[in-house]
Structure 1
Amino acid sequence: MIILYLSVIIFNFLALYTNKRLTGSQVLHIWSFTITFQLMFDVFIDLKYKGYWYFTQGIDWVGLPAYTILIPPVNVIFLNWFPYGSSLIKRVGYFVVWEFFLLLYEMIAKLPEPWGYFRYGWWNIWYSFCINPLLLCTVLLYYKWVLRLERKTLNNV
């Protein structure tokens, strides 16, 4: 639990104070998308298939920060620091660094309470290794879609 609350403070601080690229509207889009996507994913993996959970299996209030204010600022940081317009090597390297960070964070979050809050059922780190790049690509594609919609709207005004 300690890691969850420290992470929420640190990630939100970093997202707020290092963001130089995303507008308030884009941050709101990413935040809303992240919460929605995470809840949809976790309904199946956590509740239906018991793959992993936060604190205890099932729905509980103590896990609410993990669903609502932990991952959205991480996605804002990811998008803000993304090397747009750089070579493919730099973009792939950026994904590799983030994959390492996410896997390391997951291992730390699995520490016993009172430190950790993340628990495995049948899930393991290799599933995360495989799915993290897909999730990061999904966030990146969603952000690019938002940018395209904003440009289209500005052109129609």
Structure 2
Amino acid sequence: MDVLANLPSHLTRHRMLGPKATAAFLGVTTSQLSRMRSEGIIPQPIHFSPRRYGWKVGILLDWVDSETIRHRHGADQFTVDMVASANETRSWFSGHPSDIQILLNDSDVAVAVWQDWREPNGVGLMPIKGEDLLNAENRALKYTIAAFPCGSAEHAEALMGRWAK
């Protein structure tokens, strides 16, 4: 019985793949994977020792999602960055109110992110905090952004109604 095949999805995202399995997962050769790694095209692996390393399945899935959004849907860099940030938040986020409050307090801007196939690039974005900093004139300013993964626009609106000041 393959216990790994029956893991819950939240645990499957933490499963590690070595270079051969990662190359197969991405549909590239190990040589191509090595080049992609050295050129910084793919996320950096986790090192177990100087010669052993691998990638978490969840990180690879999130990277593939962001690349799909960028190339197939023509999303701008901000949208791609928000999707990547929301995916990163999802990897540790419990949804507990204290996590939300900490993330909001530690950021100047907060954006809700969800899949929305009605949008041209398949991503819905809603500012929750610091909308004025997202204006084109302020893009040159330095500020911290937190991206919250949401299930829908309604979820984002509820988040904004509960936490926005």
Q: Which interval holds the TM-score relative to the shorter structure?
A: under 0.3
Higher strand share: 2
Higher helix share: 1
